[in-house]
Amino acid sequence: MRSIVITSGKGGVGKTTVTASLGRMLAFEGFRVVMIDADVGLNNLDVVTGVERRVVYDIGDVLAGRCRAFQALVQDSESNARILPSSRESAAQTAQAFRSVVDSLSEFDFALIDCPAGIEHGFHRAVSAADEAIVVATAAASSIRDADKVANLLKSYRLRDISLVVNRVRPDLVRRGETLSASEIGSLLRLPPIGVIPDDDRIQVRQQLGSMSRGGAAERAFELLAQNVAEGRKEFHDITLKRGFLRFKRVNID
C-alpha cells in the first residue's frame, strides 16, 4: 500500500478537494483506494464524497475499540473508493494510534490522508501515518509561504517522496503576468509539480452535491494527476488558454 498525505499548511486551498478527486480517479483506473479524513472535529471528506448520511462508525470508534477499521469504511457515492470518516468530535488521538489504523488497511493500493490545516498536532498525526506527501498550494502569496513552511517540516519526516499540486490556476492571469505559473511556484518551493488544477466554479458547485466536476478541464486535470501518482512520474501538464479554451501542455520536470 502507498500512503500519501495531502497537506498545505494554509486552510481552504483544496486539500479535501484534491484528496476526493484524486481518490476517485485512481479508483476509476481500477486501484483499491481508501481516503482517510484526518481532520478531527472538522470532518468534511464525508460531505464532499456524498457519504455523510451513511456514516455509522468513524475513526474515533476504531481507536476506541468499538469497531474494526474495515467496518467503519463507507463506499464513495461515485466510485469504488472507500472513505474512513474522522471523528465528529475533537478527541485526543496519538500519531501512533492513527498510524496503526492506516497500517491495518494494507489491502488497499492507496491510502490518501486528508490532512487538517495548520502545522500542529493534527498535521503531525496525519504526516506520521504517510510514506509520501503531496503539498497543495495556490498562487496566493500566503499559500506559497505556508507551503514552504510545510515543505521544510516534511523534510524531517521519513517520506519517500514530496510533490506539489498547484490548485485554482487561472491561465488568463498567468498569461498576463499577474500571477505565478505552476512552474514558478514549483521552483520557489523546490517541489516538483505533478498536478495543475484549474480554478473552476463547477468544482465547488458539484462538491456541494457530493459529486465531482465531470467532462471538463477539471476532470482532465485530476485524471492527469492520478496518472502521475499511479506511475510515479515527474512531469506535469500546465494549463494554457487557447482561443478561450483551456488546454493542457506537457512540461518535463528536470
Ligand X SMILES: Nc1ncnc2c1ncn2[C@@H]1O[C@H](COP(=O)(O)OP(=O)(O)OP(=O)(O)O)[C@@H](O)[C@H]1O
Residue ranges in contact with ligand X by CB under 6 A? 8, 11-17, 39, 117, 167-168, 197, 199-201, 203-204, 207
The angle subtended at Cα 252 by Cα 247 and Cα 254, nearest 5°, is: 150
Of the two residues 16 and 181, which places its CB atom closer to Mg ion in the complex? 16
Least distance (Å) from ligand X to the CB of residue 2?
21
Asked if residue 84 lies in contact with residue 73, where contact means CB atoms within 8 angstroms, the answer is yes
Least distance (Å) from Mg ion to the CB of residue 14?
8
- Contacted entry of ligand X, Mg ion, none for residue 14, CB cut-off 5 to 8 Å set by kind: ligand X
Question: Is 167 a residue that touches Mg ion (CB under 5 A)?
Answer: no
Phi, psi dihedrals of residue 10, rounded to the nearest 5°: -65, 145
Of the two residues 17 and 179, which places its CB atom closer to ligand X in the complex? 17
- Contacted entry of Mg ion, ligand X, none for residue 168, CB cut-off 5 to 8 Å set by kind: ligand X
C-alpha closest to that of 82 among 66, 93, 70: 70
- Contacted entry of ligand X, Mg ion, none for residue 223, CB cut-off 5 to 8 Å set by kind: none
The single-letter code of the amino acid at 212 is M
- Contacted entry of ligand X, Mg ion, none for residue 69, CB cut-off 5 to 8 Å set by kind: none
Mention every residue, 6+ apart, whose C-beta is less than 8 A from residue 75.
51, 81, 82, 83
Three cell numbers, residue 160: 519517500
C-alpha closest to that of 116 among 101, 103, 107, 129: 129
Write the interaction track for Mg ion spanning residues 13-52; mark x where CB under 5 A is met and - where it is not. Answer: --xx------------------------------------
Least distance (Å) from ligand X to the CB of residue 117?
4
C-alpha closest to that of 212 among 83, 108, 79: 79
Least distance (Å) from ligand X to the CB of residue 32?
23
Phi, psi dihedrals of residue 36, rounded to the nearest 5°: -115, 125
Q: Is 192 helix (H, G, I), strand (E, B) or coil?
A: coil
Of the two residues 70 and 138, which places its CB atom closer to ligand X in the complex? 138
Residues engaged in binding Mg ion (CB under 5 A): 15-16
